[in-house]
Structure 1
Amino acid sequence: MLAAFPGFARAAGGTPKIGLVMKSLANEFFKDMQEGAVAYAKKRGGFELIPVGIQSETDIDGQIAAVENLLTRGVDAIVIAPADSRALLPPVARAVKSGVKVINIDVAFDPESMKKRGVDIAFVGPDNRAGAKMSGEVLAQALGRGGKVVIVEGNPGAENATQRKLGYQDAITAGGLTLIDSRTAHWETEEANSVFTDMLTAHPDIQGVMAANDSMALGIVKAIQARGKTGAIKVVSFDDIPAVKPLLESGALLATVDQFGSQLAADGIDEALKEIGGQNLTGWIKTELKLVKGKGAA
């Protein structure tokens, strides 16, 4: 209950409201995040949770509207996984300056953009670059030096997409792989299927794929199967959503990285409650990552 946070008290004495703004609920990672947050709120008690999501990974306007709607509902804090590291800052900065506490999860806000807007928002999340490097190293070990690989990226405006691409590039450099193409599929399954199909047409000698999330890996594996190249092209990814478990078991997915999505929102909520209780949080509060290997991974 609220007594766990010394000094916690609303001036009006009511139950605090916390808004949780996620990205696409079509992505199993964010569905899992919402379910974990709702379960945590029910178990912990002492606050009202208002979870909202958008319908596609690129619906930035939908997220902006969600933030504005939460402000009209009088929330005390917002925990947000922004679809874009810069575009969501204007409404979020307005929230901070109006006295609403904000905790950033999953996708970090751009530091320079925060500085320009005069806000310093704590980030709760994993080291995406380090995680992607771990996943990419499994592919490098499987292919050996000179292996030809491509990267299928997340949203260009999202900091975690940038960091995961950098992590994959780290693994490519360290493992002596050859990067022959890199394109975005905006985190989406069907778009990844289409993008990778085009890549395979342009580069029929692809040996490995580094996908920035599991949702895209699902579409990539489908494209590989459609071309009759199962086993000939190896795939690694990031997120460890339940849908990729069969792919890991069969070896269609060589590795992914668990960032414990169902716990991530709960961690953000805890930090938001600390801020409501009077603490001033800043900087990066790191969360856990775990490499998950599939069948055939060394």
Structure 2
Amino acid sequence: MKYRMLFTAVAAAGLLLGGSALAQDKKQLAFVVNASSDFWKLAEAGVKKAQGELGSYELQFRYPAQGTAAAQNALMDDLVTAGVDAIMISSADPKNSIDAFNRIAGQVPLFTTDSDAPESNRIAYLGSSNTDAGVQAGEEMVKAMAGKEGKCMGFVGFLGADNAKERIAGFKQAIEGKGIELVDVRGDDVDFTRARTNVDDVLVANPEINCMVGFYSYNPPKIYEALQAAGKLGQITVVAFDEDPVTLGAVKEGSFASTVVQQPFEWGYQGMKLMAKYLEGDKSGVPENKLIIVPTKVIEKGNVDAFEADLKAKIASAG
């Protein structure tokens, strides 16, 4: 009996060790964001859905300790040291991350999303065309101003990030010659308190401003808070980006003209599947220009309810 019990214990231990070994044998894919923001919850849901279809992989969704290039680069170094096999990242500061990105790309396949680093050795970018999204926002502003002259103020997180610069450039392109001027863009480095203060300051110091655009997901809610506190909701025309619940509520009630939304759920979902195929030797998903564009679309009062229903369905599909 003692021998039988001993054999059973050894066999059980073997099974446990075998299970652990199997877990360690799984290839690891990581999705690294640029800062902590509710915007990324949809991308995380997309990664979770992909995990349900990629049983032979372990997927990670990681936030850096701070919204800085240094914190992102340190996180990527840690991931590589821990054995991750491929990384997709939204760069907080592409221009100052080239060396770090190339170092990582020399060790594991590196992809970008949301904010590209085209001068690095990344394999491909999967995300929005930020220039096209900026053009859409500018067109929405022209439509909302309905022929009135406009002096707009923009608000964004990282002024130096490619996604910010491209959106701003696209917006300027669309409003050129339309009697609308983008007077300035205030950056906040993803400091939510500063994001709100930037709007408050403009309302006090720049009474000529009659239109605003929030270029990052959390900027429109901060615009809403500031306008509400100042009793100016509806008096200043606002075009937003992304699908924060406050933003969608403002569109629904008519306080915001519209919002240009991306598809971060698809970045997470498609991004993980793209990297898995790449590791398996299937590189057909990487086009010659290395750009995989997930279209943006305009959400206004007429389609906001349908859009919200679709968002809920996508999150539910992730389990």
Distance 1:120 1:218, change over 3 A: closer
State which of 105, 108, 115 in structure 1 corresponds to 2:116: 108
Q: TM-score, normalised by structure 1?
A: 0.85
Q: How does 1:114-263 map to 2 (within 5 A)?
A: 114=120, 119-143=121-145, 144-263=147-266
Q: How far 1:207 sits from its partner (Å)?
A: 1.0
In structure 1, the partner of 2:307 is: none
- 2:208 is paired with a residue of what secondary structure? coil
Distance 1:68 1:110, change over 3 A: same
Asked whether 1:290 is paired with 2:302, we answer no
1:33-57, CA deviations, whole angstroms, 9 ceiling, x for partnerless residues?
Answer: 113212321244221112211355x
In structure 2, the partner of 1:19 is: 30
- 2:113 is aligned with what amino acid? I
Unmatched tracts of structure 1, length 5 or more: 1-12
Q: How does 1:53-132 map to 2 (within 5 A)?
A: 53-56=63-66, 58-98=67-107, 100-111=108-119, 114=120, 119-132=121-134
In structure 2, the partner of 1:7 is: none
- 1:231 is paired with a residue of what secondary structure? coil
- The more displaced of 45-54 and 31-40 is 31-40
Q: How far 1:174 sits from its partner (Å)?
A: 4.8
Q: 2: distance between equivalents of 1:178 and 1:67?
A: 40
- 1:148 is paired with a residue of what secondary structure? strand
Q: 1: distance between equivalents of 2:133 and 2:207?
A: 28
State which of 33, 41, 45 in structure 1 corresponds to 2:43: 33
Check conservation: 1:154, 1:213, Cα contact below 8 A.
Answer: yes
Q: 2: distance between equivalents of 1:142 and 1:97?
A: 48
Check conservation: 1:105, 1:264, Cα contact below 8 A.
Answer: yes
- 2:82 is aligned with what amino acid? R
- 2:235 is aligned with what amino acid? A
Q: TM-score, normalised by structure 2?
A: 0.80
Check conservation: 2:142, 2:175, Cα contact below 8 A.
Answer: yes
Q: Percent identity?
A: 27
Unmatched tracts of structure 2, length 5 or more: 1-23, 305-319
Check conservation: 1:188, 1:216, Cα contact below 8 A.
Answer: no
Q: How far 1:120 sits from its partner (Å)?
A: 4.6
Distance 1:176 1:251, change over 3 A: same
Check conservation: 2:101, 2:122, Cα contact below 8 A.
Answer: no
Check conservation: 1:190, 1:216, Cα contact below 8 A.
Answer: no
Structure having the larger proportion of residues in helix: 2
Check conservation: 1:86, 1:109, Cα contact below 8 A.
Answer: yes
Q: How far 1:130 sits from its partner (Å)?
A: 1.0
- 1:175 is paired with a residue of what secondary structure? coil
Q: 2: distance between equivalents of 1:145 and 1:234?
A: 11
Check conservation: 2:112, 2:122, Cα contact below 8 A.
Answer: no
Check conservation: 1:136, 1:210, Cα contact below 8 A.
Answer: no
Q: Which has the larger radius of gyration?
A: 2
**Over the residues paired in the alignment, what is the CA RMSD in angstroms?**
2.1
- 1:237 is paired with a residue of what secondary structure? strand
Q: How far 1:104 sits from its partner (Å)?
A: 0.9
Q: 2: distance between equivalents of 1:253 and 1:54?
A: 32
Q: 2: distance between equivalents of 1:110 and 1:196?
A: 32
1:168-225, CA deviations, whole angstroms, 9 ceiling, x for partnerless residues?
Answer: 1112215321233322123444322111211222211211101102301111111111
